[in-house]
């Protein structure tokens, strides 16, 4: 199956984030061709930005996703665009990290997934949030 066909097949199970400006970004997926094997996928960016809901100031974070795929795998370009949809949204760090996890779980149905948001220091306090879904398989 081509990548385009795979995206069309999985589009109904993809998850979207709606930005303040009304644009919606979908987490596109493709089939896991190695579904019988447990392996870990790690995706990270240190370019994530959103807004502080209290002050409207920009917040910066390193977001790391680690997951053991189930039937689907997230397509990285759609993940980048999904991240961008948060640039003008005000959301507390704890809620944001859990929202990313919820959207990713809905899109790819992983065996296990962990999302870590390591947010830059503001007011002398750094915040790191880890949210987890499922049970990580033993090596």
Is there a catalytic annotation at residue 109?
no
Is there a catalytic annotation at residue 3?
no
Nearest to 14 by CA among 30, 1, 3: 30
Strands annotated E in 1-139: 15-18, 24-27, 29-31, 41-51, 58-68, 72-74, 112-122, 125-134
Among candidate residues 3, 10, 50, 52, the one labeled active-site is 52
Contact indicator for 104, 78 with CB cutoff of 8 Å: no
Among candidate residues 10, 50, 59, 113, the one labeled active-site is 59
- Catalytic residue annotation: 52, 59
């Amino acid at each position: 199956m081509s990548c385009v066909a795979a995206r069309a097949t999985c589009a109904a199970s993809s998850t979207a984030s709606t930005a303040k400006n009304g644009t919606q970004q979908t987490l596109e997926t493709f089939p896991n061709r190695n579904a019988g094997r447990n392996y870990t996928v790690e995706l990270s960016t240190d370019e994530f930005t959103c807004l502080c809901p209290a002050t409207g100031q920009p917040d910066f974070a390193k977001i790391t996703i680690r997951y053991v795929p189930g039937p689907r795998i997230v397509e990285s370009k759609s993940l980048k665009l999904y991240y961008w949809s948060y640039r003008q949204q005000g959301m507390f760090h704890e809620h944001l990290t859990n929202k990313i996890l919820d959207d990713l779980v809905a899109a790819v149905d992983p065996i296990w997934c962990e999302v870590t948001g390591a947010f830059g220091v503001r007011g002398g306090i750094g915040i790191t949030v880890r949210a987890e879904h499922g049970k990580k398989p033993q090596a």
